[in-house]
Amino acid sequence: RDLERIIEMFNKINELGIPEEVEPLYTTFFGEVNLRDDLESESMGIRELDPVGERLEDRYLKSPRTL
């Protein structure tokens, strides 16, 4: 059932017709910033990743591009 819900989510995103450069799964809820670019540049000096809980406090969670 979880897999079905994930597939439904991806189908709904595809139905929205959002341009590819927006990348909704990497976009913050507030400010519409591409998280992938930001996190890659920040990670160059980081040895340990933040726990998921801290990322949620920042109001975003990085999601996978594909299943």
21 domain-assigned: yes
Structural domain of residue 39, as residue ranges?
2-57
- Between CA 16 and CA 46 the distance in angstroms is 35
41 domain-assigned: yes
**47 — pLDDT class (breaks 50, 70, 90):** very low
65 domain-assigned: no
33 neighbors 60 (Cβ within 8 angstroms): no
Q: Is the pLDDT of residue 17 over 70?
A: yes
The mean pLDDT of 38-52, rounded to a whole number, is 50
63 domain-assigned: no
64 domain-assigned: no
67 domain-assigned: no
66 domain-assigned: no
29 domain-assigned: yes
